[in-house]
Structure 1
Amino acid sequence: MRIRSKVSGIWGAALVAISVAVLAGCTAEPPAHTQARATAPVVHPGAPGGDSRTAPPGATASPTVAGPSAADVRFAEAMIPHHRQALEMAGLVRDRTTTPAITALAGRISAAQGPEITVMSDWLTRLGRAVPGHGHAGDMPGMATLEQMNRLRGLRGAEFDRYFLQLMITHHKGALTMAADELAKGTDRGMLLIAKDVHTGQSIEIARMQDLAAR
C-alpha cells in the first residue's frame, strides 16, 4: 500500500508540473518579430495618380476598390464625343490623301479610340447614365468647330495633310488636358486606366505629328 501511494504521489506531481508548463507556454510573450508584424501599420497603395493610405495594425494588405466619382463621369461623358470627332477626322484620310504617314496615323487613331468609346459607353450605361451623342463644340478642349471640319472635308493632297495635322495636334492636346484632370481627380480604376492610356499614347502621337508638320 505504501509503494502504491508513493507511485501515485509521483505521477500526481508530474501531472501538476506538466499542467503548469503548458499554462506557462500559453501565456508566454510571442517572439519580438511576431509582435512587430502585429503592431506595424499597413500601407495600401492608391489608384493611379492617387495617394497611398495607411491602415491600422492588423488590417489586410489588399487595397480597396474605389467606386466612380463625379470626375470619372465627367471624363467619360466628355471623352466619348471627343474621341468620336477624332474618328471622324481619321475617316476622311482614305479618300483625301495618299501620304503613308498620314494614313498610318489615322489607322492608329481608329484602332485605339474606337474600343475606348465602347468601354466608356458601356460603363456609363451600367451607371444608368445616357451615352452622349456626337458634337463639334462644347466644353471639351481641342475640339474642331463645324466650320473647321467642313474645310477639312474640302481639301485634298498636301493641303489636306497640313490642315489635318494642325487640327489633330490641337485635338490631341485637348485630350491630354482632359486625361490629366481625370488622373488628378478620378477614382474609378477603369476610367483611370483609359486616362493613362490616352495621356501616354496621344503624347507620342503629338510628337510624331509635329515632326510630320515640320517637314
Structure 2
Amino acid sequence: MTRQHSTTEETTPPSGDTAGEAAPPSAYGLGRRLRIMGAVLAGGLAVTLALLLWLGVFVPAKQEAAGYSDADSSYAATAIEHNAQAVQLAALAPGRSDDDAVLALAVEVGEASAGRVRLLADWLEARDIPVPPSGREALALAENGLETELPDDGSGPRAGSTAHSHEGGNHGMLTDEQVNGIAALTATDFDIALLAALVEHHYGGLQPADEEIENGKDAEAMALAQAEADAIRVEVEDVRDLLASVGGPGSTNDQTS
C-alpha cells in the first residue's frame, strides 16, 4: 500500500509543474494568431495596392470613357456621313454647271462640309473610335479642290462607295440612284436638281444635330452639333435663294425657324 502510494506521488506532477506544462499550448496558440494576423495584414496590403491601382489607372480611364455617351458617338458618325455626302454632291458641279453662282456656292458648301467632317473625325479619333470611311474619302475629295475628272459614264466624282450608305430619307441622305440621277444632268437642269437636293439634304442634317444638342453628354460634341445646326440654317437659306434665281421651285419649308 505504502509503495503504491509512493509511486503515485512520484508519478503525479506537482501542481506547479502542471501549470508550467500548459505554456507550450499557449505559445503555439500565440504563434498561430500571429501568423494569422500577418496573413491578414498581407492580404490587406494586397487589397490596398489593388485599390490604389484601380483608383490610379482604371477609374480615370473609366471616367474618361464615361465622358461621352452613345448619343455623342452616334451623332459624330452620322454627321460625318451626312457631311461627306454634301461634299460629294458639291463635287458634281464642276463640268456640269455653267452658272458661276452655282459653282461658287458648291465650293462653299463642299468646303464647309469638309471642315465639319474634319472636326468630327478629330473628335472620334481622340476617343479611339473608328472614323467612317466616307469621312476620309470626302476629305480626300475636298483636298483635290472638289474638282475631279468625269468618268466615261458621266456619273461624276464620288467620295466613295460608302459615302452615302444610309438609305434615302434618313436625315436627308440621298440614295445612289438619286445621286446618279443628278449626275446625269447638265446646265440648268443640273443646277435645279443639285440645289433642290441640297435644300432637302441640309434640312435632314438638322435632325441629328438637334437630337445631339438635346440628348448629348459630351460638351465638345454638343458644341459641334450646335455649330452645325447654326451653319445649316444659314447655308440652306443661301441655297434656297439661289434655287429660286435659277428657276427652281420655291420652298415653303419652315424648319429653319
* Offset at residue 135 of structure 1 (A): 3.4
**Counterpart Cα distance in 1 of 2:115 and 2:130:** 18
Per-residue CA deviation, residues 83-106 of structure 1 (Å, 9 max, x unaligned), is: 111001001111111212211211
The answer as to whether partners of 2:87 and 2:111 remain within 8 angstroms in 1 is no
**Which residue number in structure 2 is paired with residue 178 of structure 1?**
208
**Which residue number in structure 2 is paired with residue 30 of structure 1?**
none
**Counterpart Cα distance in 1 of 2:81 and 2:242:** 26
The answer as to whether partners of 1:137 and 1:144 remain within 8 angstroms in 2 is no
Q: Aligned partner of 2:203: which letter?
A: K
The answer as to whether partners of 2:116 and 2:228 remain within 8 angstroms in 1 is no
**Which residue number in structure 2 is paired with residue 190 of structure 1?**
220
Per-residue CA deviation, residues 7-34 of structure 1 (Å, 9 max, x unaligned), is: xxxxxxxxxxxxxxxxxxxxxxxxxxxx
The reply on whether 1:169 has 2:199 as its aligned counterpart is: yes
**Which residue number in structure 1 is paired with residue 70 of structure 2?**
70
**Counterpart Cα distance in 1 of 2:228 and 2:82:** 12
**Counterpart Cα distance in 2 of 1:126 and 1:116:** 15
**Which residue number in structure 1 is paired with residue 175 of structure 2?**
145
**Which residue number in structure 2 is paired with residue 124 of structure 1?**
124
The reply on whether 1:160 has 2:194 as its aligned counterpart is: no
**Counterpart Cα distance in 2 of 1:119 and 1:208:** 23
* Offset at residue 150 of structure 1 (A): 0.6
**Counterpart Cα distance in 1 of 2:110 and 2:219:** 23
The answer as to whether partners of 2:173 and 2:204 remain within 8 angstroms in 1 is yes
Residue segments in structure 2 that go unaligned for 5+ positions in a row: 1-65, 134-161, 246-257
The reply on whether 1:82 has 2:82 as its aligned counterpart is: yes
Q: Aligned partner of 1:152: which letter?
A: I
Q: Aligned partner of 2:199: which letter?
A: I
**Which residue number in structure 2 is paired with residue 94 of structure 1?**
94
The answer as to whether partners of 1:73 and 1:124 remain within 8 angstroms in 2 is yes
Per-residue CA deviation, residues 32-62 of structure 1 (Å, 9 max, x unaligned), is: xxxxxxxxxxxxxxxxxxxxxxxxxxxxxxx
The answer as to whether partners of 1:179 and 1:196 remain within 8 angstroms in 2 is yes
Give identity over the alignment, percent: 31
SS state of the match for residue 82, structure 1?
helix
Greater helix share, 1 or 2? Answer: 2
**Counterpart Cα distance in 1 of 2:95 and 2:223:** 34
**Counterpart Cα distance in 2 of 1:209 and 1:192:** 25
Question: What pairs with 1:41-80 in structure 2 (closer than 5 Å)?
Answer: 67-80=67-80
What stretches of structure 1 move > 6 A for 4+ residues in a row?
A: none
The answer as to whether partners of 2:199 and 2:239 remain within 8 angstroms in 1 is yes
The answer as to whether partners of 2:166 and 2:175 remain within 8 angstroms in 1 is no
Residue segments in structure 1 that go unaligned for 5+ positions in a row: 1-65
Higher relative contact order (CA 8 A, sep 6+): 1
**Counterpart Cα distance in 1 of 2:119 and 2:232:** 18
**Which residue number in structure 2 is paired with residue 106 of structure 1?**
106
Rg larger in 1 or in 2? 2
Q: Aligned partner of 1:82: which letter?
A: H
* Offset at residue 137 of structure 1 (A): 4.0
The answer as to whether partners of 1:87 and 1:109 remain within 8 angstroms in 2 is yes
**Counterpart Cα distance in 2 of 1:190 and 1:116:** 13
The answer as to whether partners of 1:96 and 1:156 remain within 8 angstroms in 2 is yes
Provide the aligned C-alpha RMSD in A: 1.7
The answer as to whether partners of 2:80 and 2:132 remain within 8 angstroms in 1 is yes
